[in-house]
Amino acid sequence: MADLADAIARLAPWFHNLHLPGGVETAPDHFLGDFPRFKWREIAPHLPADLAGARVLDIGCNAGFYSFALAARGADVLGIDVDEHYLAQARWAKAYLGADRVAFRRASIWEVDRLGRFDLVLFMGVLYHLRHPLLALDLLASTAPGLLVFQTLTHGGEGVAADAGADQGFTSRHRLEDPGWPRMAFIETTFAGDPTNWWIPNHAAVAAMLRSAGFTVEARPAHEVYICRCGKPAADPDLEAAHRAAVRLEARTDS
Ligand SMILES: C[S@@+](CC[C@H](N)C(=O)[O-])C[C@H]1O[C@@H](n2cnc3c(N)ncnc32)[C@H](O)[C@@H]1O
């Protein structure tokens, strides 16, 4: 037990409160509560109980909470993340739990088109960390995931302006100030002390961006969580060039 506590302390800080056998938790004092277990409880009933044979991709897997939960349903899961700190936690937990169906790899959303095709993709808590969020959704849609579980930090209410998708006249710019108009707050420096936060959309913008990238929202099992089917990806002749540029810029932002 002392060895286990040492290992958890050595790998801290934890963003995922993993529940380990014997009642040990990795982040029992998490500022969000029992995170992300309380969120998983809301999402889990909306996903197939039997995922045997399914290929799952967990983008921004962090310490692997969702990867382990989906592997427990029989899926073969690939968890990717850009942060070695979290990957070390995920790999340690995989070994500790004996979670053979899960693999973890250092990779970015910008490499998603090189990872193969997946029946289920989790893209949770990552969008607002990206300088080029819509491009990420377009790229993800181009890989035609079967089902997408999407989550992002948002601001504002749940309203969507009735005319949000319609053309507006040049002199109707006041419509953009409607609380239900799709909008994203741009974070130039830091938000919550974190310089990797770039954009915080409202619900109307999330819905519009998902639609624009070719996704159809099928369910909203929890606040800020969207379960989507992938339809026809947006036809974007610039996607490839924009993708290459984003990869270059991302590398510069990381360094
Ligand atoms: C707020 S946490 C969300 C973790 C987990 N998906 C969840 O919902 O609990 C954001 C995670 O995304 C990872 N991340 C940030 N930028 C990324 C990128 N470009 N590609 C993949 N993962 C990224 C971070 O390292 C971090 O583990």
Q: What pLDDT was estimated at residue 239?
A: 78
Protein residue with least CA distance to atom 22, ligand 1: 60
Protein residue with least CA distance to atom 3, ligand 1: 125
Q: What pLDDT was estimated at residue 173?
A: 93
- In this structure, how many other beta carbons lie within 10 angstroms of the beta carbon of residue 172? 10
pTM equals 0.95
Report whether residue 36 contacts ligand 1, using a CB cutoff of 6 Å: yes
CATH of region 34-155+174-254: 3.40.50.150
CA of 52 to the centre of ligand 1 (A): 26
Protein residue with least CA distance to atom 25, ligand 1: 83
Report whether residue 67 contacts ligand 1, using a CB cutoff of 6 Å: no
CA of 96 to the centre of ligand 1 (A): 22
Q: Which helix H or strand E contains 3, and what residues bound it?
A: helix 2-10
CA of 140 to the centre of ligand 1 (A): 15
CA of 162 to the centre of ligand 1 (A): 33
Please give the structure tokens belonging to residue 72: 């427990």
Per-residue pLDDT tens, the chain, 255 aa: give them: 789 999 999 999 999 999 999 899 999 999 999 999 999 999 999 999 999 999 999 999 999 999 999 999 999 999 999 999 999 999 999 999 999 999 999 999 999 999 999 999 999 999 999 999 999 999 999 999 999 999 999 999 999 999 998 999 999 999 999 999 999 999 999 999 999 999 999 999 999 999 999 999 999 999 999 999 998 766 677 777 777 777 777 766 664
Report whether residue 150 contacts ligand 1, using a CB cutoff of 6 Å: no
Distance CA 216, CA 161 (A): 18
CA dihedral 173, 176, 177, 178 (to 10 degrees): 120
Scan for tokens 């009642």, then name that residue: 23
Report whether residue 124 contacts ligand 1, using a CB cutoff of 6 Å: yes
Q: What pLDDT was estimated at residue 224?
A: 98
CA of 167 to the centre of ligand 1 (A): 35
Q: What pLDDT was estimated at residue 235?
A: 67
CB hemisphere CA count around 252 (13 angstroms): 7
Report whether residue 224 contacts ligand 1, using a CB cutoff of 6 Å: no
- In this structure, how many other beta carbons lie within 10 angstroms of the beta carbon of residue 183? 19
Atom number of ligand 1 nearest to Cα 86: 27
Scan for tokens 């993800």, then name that residue: 140
